[in-house]
Amino acid sequence: MALLDEGNLLAERARHAKFRTNHVGTKLNEAELHELGELVAKRKETPAELIRGLILRELKRDKEGMKPSVEMVEITALRLQIINLLKPVLTGIKMTTDCFDGIVKEVKLRKRGLALEVLEDYEKG
């Protein structure tokens, strides 16, 4: 078996494709460099690890699209509950526990989708 046959070359190329051989760089002013140093120390990473992680997270976020944070989803859920519960309270309509439970169930089903809509509207300006 030859060392440089086509199968070996393809396998070697695939193995080398996983190596980190490309460099991406930028320039920072003194204040930015100082802030980066503080963040690196806080996260106990090297500058290269931190920057690589930031780039990879942004690439993933760009592929997946916008995702509302957990906090935003829960705030949206509270907003939905308040909106759905205030009118009956203000108009003096008695609410049964079944009705209340139904509202809570509906909020759980819709909160993520509505939070995404709110986020998209916010991004549009």
pLDDT tens by residue, the chain, 125 residues: 456 677 777 887 888 778 888 888 899 999 999 999 999 999 999 999 999 999 999 998 888 887 888 999 999 999 999 999 898 888 988 889 998 999 999 999 999 999 999 988 888 87
Domain boundaries, the chain: 28-65, 70-124
User: Looking at residue 115, what is its pLDDT?
Assistant: 93
CB 42 within 8 Å of CB 80: no
Q: What is the pLDDT of residue 4?
A: 66
User: What does the DSSP 8-state code read for residue 19?
Assistant: S
Closest to 51 measured CA to CA, from 26, 16, 17, 34? 26
What pLDDT is recorded for position 16?
78
Evaluate the CA torsion angle 48, 54, 59, 60 in order and state its sign. positive
Residue 68, classed as helix, strand or coil, is coil
What's the whole-model pTM score? 0.53
Amino acid letter, 25: G
pLDDT at position 39 is: 96
The single-letter code of the amino acid at 30 is E
